[in-house]
């Protein structure tokens, strides 16, 4: 089995920046329409100003929908296993953009109906040439006998939800030590998910681990964050929480190494021990 790729913050930031920049032209392109709306308003042409403003809003909606589609596409491409987006946001954006462009040509630029329709069609074609189509097929990687694609997708999606819960709780805990602990735990969890993506057969070896640890960690961390937010924590609670975080982090390390070695050994016993600890908080 290949080893999981290390999490690189710089790479994640760069990907986020690239996704944010992509489609910027879609936000800049309708600026003349906004200017036209202002000019018509200044001249007292209220109806024309309203039409121009509505068309500008249409362009902005198309740009925002497209950006969401770009984000989903970027996440899809980075994963070895992923469901295709349920809604083709890029295609929806392309249709809105084409329609709005055609209406702008017809209502504000005195183009005829046929010419406006042609402009709209060219806009639609240009969008697809520039940004491509939405991913439509799931990426199933090397899923083999013994585990179905739906099982793997469902397990990974549930794990991501639990990790997001831990991340949200971490942001509400004003304790540097706990913050660093939780950051490492989140990273280790994602390393384990990467291993499962690379070899879905690992799901059977990690299923109980993911359910007990991630669910327990998310629940306990969220509960502690709420108590911390009310300034109701005590020294005993902090100590117990510290001990649980230590156990979670060390066991995540063990799970990662055992998956690398395709070895389960006595991990179930350790899981049950931690499960007892989690119930005590």
- The string of pLDDT tens digits covering residues 115-167 is 999 999 999 999 999 999 998 887 776 666 566 777 788 888 888 899 999 99
Residue whose C-alpha is closest to residue 225's, from 281, 159, 161, 157: 281
Tell me, yes or no, whether 141 lies in a domain: no
109 and 30 fall within a common domain: yes
182 and 214 fall within a common domain: yes
44 and 115 fall within a common domain: yes
The confidence band for 2, taking pLDDT boundaries of 50, 70 and 90, is very low
- CA 203 – CA 141 distance, rounded (Å): 14
33 and 83 fall within a common domain: yes
CA distances from 90 to 30, 127, 133, 147 (A): 18, 9, 7, 32
Q: Is the pLDDT of residue 264 over 50?
A: no
31 and 127 fall within a common domain: yes
Contact 261/277 with Cβ under 8 angstroms?
no
17 and 120 fall within a common domain: yes
CA distances from 103 to 33, 113, 248 (A): 12, 9, 58
154 and 271 fall within a common domain: yes
- DSSP codes of every residue in 194-232: HHHHH-TTHHHHHHHHIIIIIHHHHHHHHHHHHHHHTT-
Quick check: pTM over 0.85? no
82 and 197 fall within a common domain: no
The pLDDT score that the predictor gives to residue 7 is 42
Domain span at residue 231 reads 149-279
165 and 267 fall within a common domain: yes
Q: Looking at the 3D structure of the chain, how many domains does it have?
A: 2
The pLDDT score that the predictor gives to residue 129 is 92
Tell me, yes or no, whether 137 lies in a domain: no
Contact 70/22 with Cβ under 8 angstroms?
yes
Rg of the chain taking only CA atoms, in angstroms: 25
198 and 126 fall within a common domain: no
Tell me, yes or no, whether 143 lies in a domain: no
181 and 85 fall within a common domain: no
Tell me, yes or no, whether 58 lies in a domain: yes
* Element counts in the chain: helices (H) and strands (E): 12, 0
Tell me, yes or no, whether 3 lies in a domain: no
Tell me, yes or no, whether 17 lies in a domain: yes
- CA 178 – CA 244 distance, rounded (Å): 11
Q: Is the pLDDT of residue 279 over 70?
A: no
**Domain boundary pick from 131, 163, 193:** 131
Tokens 């995540």, residue located: 252
The confidence band for 19, taking pLDDT boundaries of 50, 70 and 90, is low
Instruction: Give the percent of the chain with pLDDT over 70.
Output: 81
- CA 92 – CA 125 distance, rounded (Å): 13
Q: What token pair was written down for 71?
A: 């984000």
The pLDDT score that the predictor gives to residue 229 is 65
What's the pLDDT tens digit per position in 57-116? Answer: 999 999 999 999 999 898 888 777 777 888 999 999 999 999 999 999 999 888 999 999
**Rounded average pLDDT over 234-247:** 83
Tell me, yes or no, whether 125 lies in a domain: yes
153 and 114 fall within a common domain: no
Calculate the CA dihedral of residues 22, 27, 32, 34 and round it to 10 degrees.
180
The pLDDT score that the predictor gives to residue 211 is 78
Tell me, yes or no, whether 139 lies in a domain: no
């Amino acid at each position: 089995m290949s080893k999981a790729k290390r999490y690189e913050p710089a790479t994640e930031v760069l990907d986020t920046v690239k996704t944010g920049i992509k489609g910027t032209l879609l936000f800049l392109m309708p600026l003349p329409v906004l200017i036209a709306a202002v000019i018509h308003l200044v001249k007292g042409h209220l109806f024309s100003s309203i039409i121009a403003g509505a068309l500008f809003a249409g362009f902005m909606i198309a740009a925002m929908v497209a950006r969401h589609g770009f984000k989903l596409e970027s996440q899809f491409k980075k994963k070895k296993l992923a469901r295709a987006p349920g809604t083709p946001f890029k295609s929806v954006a392309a249709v809105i953009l084409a329609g709005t462009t055609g209406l702008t040509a017809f209502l504000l630029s005195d183009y005829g109906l046929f010419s406006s329709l042609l402009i709209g069609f060219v806009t639609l074609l240009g969008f697809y040439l520039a940004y491509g189509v939405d991913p439509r097929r799931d990426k199933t990687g090397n899923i083999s006998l013994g585990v179905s694609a739906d099982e793997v997708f469902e397990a990974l999606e549930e794990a991501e939800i639990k990790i997001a819960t831990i991340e949200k709780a971490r942001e509400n805990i004003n304790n540097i030590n706990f913050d660093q602990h939780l950051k490492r735990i989140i990273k280790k969890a994602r390393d384990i998910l990467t291993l499962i993506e690379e070899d879905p057969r690992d799901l059977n070896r990690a299923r109980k681990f993911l359910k007990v640890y991630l669910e327990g960690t998310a629940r306990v961390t969220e509960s502690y964050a709420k108590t911390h937010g009310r300034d109701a924590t005590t020294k005993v609670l902090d100590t117990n929480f510290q001990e649980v975080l230590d156990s979670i982090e060390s066991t995540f390390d063990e799970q990662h190494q055992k998956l690398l070695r395709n070895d389960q050994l006595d991990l179930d016993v350790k899981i049950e021990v931690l499960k007892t600890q989690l119930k005590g908080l």
